[in-house]
Structure 1
């Protein structure tokens, strides 16, 4: 690619694929990570806390590309699954592209078979990002929950006979989500960093793979365009 128009077209066509992956990974990362953190804080140093804490340390210490390779090798050895990247819309009859996002376009085209196939294709990369980055949310949620448990309003609820489970789910959980949202920009940045490895390993046609291919081919314009997009996303998320 040598023309700026070609670079912008490539970025526009690939950005929806990366956004699909980011959103589908971010939802379970926040929901599951925060819930497990609260669950661990209910009984500090208990079995659940020790087990979740161990796996969170392992997950956070494992680079995205190592986790991706482990999932790739494991899924192929156990089930014979190999990443097939993304479906080619050129092979789909009567297909209309509206957003370049297969998930959204499959819904708009009422092709739910394509939707299920695309979700299946995203399972491995989503699992990779989830296992690595949910550990960060878990640690923040657990630390916040333990701090909130010591506050006066929680002690007052406990003195009124409210069960520990109700206290954690009704009072503590709302306060746990505040720091999780606060570090959302940092979490988004770390997810975007992992895209280059995950999309390349699982043959996903997104911004991360475009960035990797451009770096290998020394395509300066494409590299600059991808970096500019990522920087803009970081600024928007942190506003």
Structure 2
């Protein structure tokens, strides 16, 4: 019941965030230069044709009225239709969501496993591995994901021809090609995340290893392996989980550029295209989906905290 109350409380507290993000997005999109009605009718259309299209799209109404109409439709489960293709926004987003989720989940899993393993190894061995982790952390923070993606394409796809240059193959069509199409995008997203998680893991393990209860266990003859895996890692996991949640959210934003570089039909590339076209319903729907994903990530982090630390569950 405690976990159920936590989930309900977090979801209710996130509701104002959804309203704020959607309203702010609506305002910011309206400030971007461009007119979807003019794009649809073309530059040679008459003024009457132009005004007719604006009226059909609802763009001639005041901005607060447009937002209110969109909000009412959302409460009825309708995100509207694309201004250009006429397709329902929900259908378009649902078709694109598996691509982005495949990329983000794979990037998170790879970053978490490699980052924790490298951080744990450097904490136990020390020496040169510590310098490697610190160097990777600096590189990971300094190198943009889209630049790394271009380098990987030039070397591993164009020169060596190990992986496809661009595109995405659905898992249902060919699992092997699906995995190959994700290798370079996941590498582009994961390099910086692996370094950050590795550094946090190493620092947390070293800090936990110097605490009094660990020294007492060592003095009482507990095996080093048991102390490390049953006590040190459990207590060191809390800050690592926090960093992993931050990394997952950062992957959502980085995926916009990576999907564009690799021509992957995901939410990121869709959002960029909709912004260029000034397709307001599509932009609003994509931002709403991404915001919900961020809320779910924060909820998972809270649940992981409660699982790892009994004091959080008690609170």
**If the TM-score is normalised by the length of the shorter chain, which range does it land in?**
0.7 to 0.9
Rg: which structure is higher?
2
> 1:70: which partner in 2?
151
* Alignment RMSD: 2.1
Q: How does 1:22-33 map to 2 (within 5 A)?
A: 22-33=104-115
Q: 1:160 to 1:77 in 2, by over 3 A?
A: farther
- Where relative contact order (Cα < 8 A, 6+ residues apart) is larger, the structure is 1
2:121 corresponding residue in structure 1: 39
Look up the match of 1:9.
Answer: 91
Structure 1: give runs of 5+ residues left out of the alignment.
88-101, 107-113
Q: Deviations over 1:107-143 (max 9, x none)?
A: xxxxxxx101110111100111111212221122122
C-alpha distance after superposition, 1:166-217 (max 9, x if no partner) = 5434432222322222344322210100111111111111101111111222
* Count of aligned pairs: 216
Contact 1:18 / 1:206 at 8 angstroms: preserved in 2? yes
Query: What does residue 273 of structure 2 align with?
Result: 213
Shift of 1:5: 5.2
The correspondence for 2:285, drawn from 221, 225, 236, is 225
Residue aligning to 1:126:
186
Unaligned segments of structure 2, at least 5 residues: 1-81, 300-315
1:3-152 equivalent positions in 2, closer than 5 A: 6-44=88-126, 46-80=127-161, 81-87=163-169, 102-103=170-171, 105=172, 114-152=174-212
* Distance in 2 of aligned mates of 1:158 and 1:120: 46
Once the 2 structures are TM-superposed, how far is the Cα of residue 236 of structure 1 from its aligned partner? Answer: 2.0
Q: Following superposition of structure 1 onto structure 2, how do residues 194-205 of structure 1 map, counting pairs within 5 Å?
A: 194-205=254-265
1:49 & 1:166 partners in 2: Cα distance? 23
Moved more, 27-36 or 76-85: 76-85
Give secondary structure in 2 for the equivalent of 1:83.
coil
Distance 2:166 2:232 in 1: 42
Q: What is the CA–CA distance in structure 2 between the aligned matches of 1:56 and 1:116, rounded to whole Å?
A: 31
CA distance in 2, matches of 1:168, 1:49: 18
> After superposition, what is the alpha-carbon deviation per residue over 1:28-53, rounded to whole angstroms, capped at 9, x for unaligned?
21111012112212244x11111122
Using a 3 Å threshold, how does the CA distance of structure 1 residues 163 and 58 change in structure 2: closer, same or farther? farther
Report how far residue 161 of structure 1 moved.
5.0
